Amino acid sequence: MTDFFEDKTPESTEEAEVEKIKIGEEEFDPEELSGIIAKGRWANEVETKQNTKLDKLMPEYTKATQRLKDYEEKEKVWNEAQEKKLSETPQNELSEEELVRQTKLQAKKFGLITVDDIDQYVTQRINSVQQANELLEECKGMEKEYGGEDGRPKFETEEILKHMQETGIKSPLKAWKDKYEEQIDKWKEDQLGKAKKSGLYTETGSSGNHEPSPVKLTKSNLQDALTEALNTPRE
């Protein structure tokens, strides 16, 4: 007969140990590894969408968040100051124009952007874009006129714009002449030599066997002389 008070050995309730997965020198349980993989996928998606590495993106996000926080704090302080000022000053003592003026001054003092600031910024941006388009159009015209076919230095917009930025010259044509001054002077000398060799003479007198007198080249007739020399067929 079994003793009622006999001790009974309890059955083992030890749970089976979860099998861990080893990656390199580290071991992870399936749940932990699943979380790491999910975070890795999220990081990869963020980097792909932003076209930026996450280690670079996070500091920028932190800076932007801090700037937003600073802006909100400044706005809060400004609003409180405005409410206090308006509550202390009777409305009938300030005109509407004065209220607007003081409000704008206070906004600038606290670094806030007003409608006037936005209008001014937009206007400046529009003007800048228009000026840039006009400059590019002018450069395109220069590229056609000075394509390098006649021996003069070729007008290349990118190079000329870079030279303008370095020298402060505002005109693309002046920048081209400044950048290639020596080559242009050499080209002019060559053209002048060709003009002399081609025999640019004028007849003096109406009869006799007088030798033609050479034409004295001046600023007024130099262009015509060069044009005639360039268009004269070679023998």
Q: Is the pLDDT of residue 232 over 70?
A: no
C-alpha atoms less than 13 angstroms from C-alpha of 169 in its C-beta half-sphere = 16
Q: What is the pTM of this model?
A: 0.39
Q: For the segment 205-224, what is each residue's pLDDT rounded down to a tens digit?
A: 444 444 555 555 555 555 56
Q: What is the pLDDT of residues 11-57, one digit of tens each?
A: 544 455 667 666 666 776 777 767 767 766 776 676 676 666 666 66
In tens, the pLDDT along 48-98 reads: 766 666 666 666 667 777 777 777 788 788 877 776 766 666 655 667 777
Check residue 204 and give its pLDDT. 46
Contact (Cβ atoms closer than 8 angstroms) between residue 210 and residue 175: no
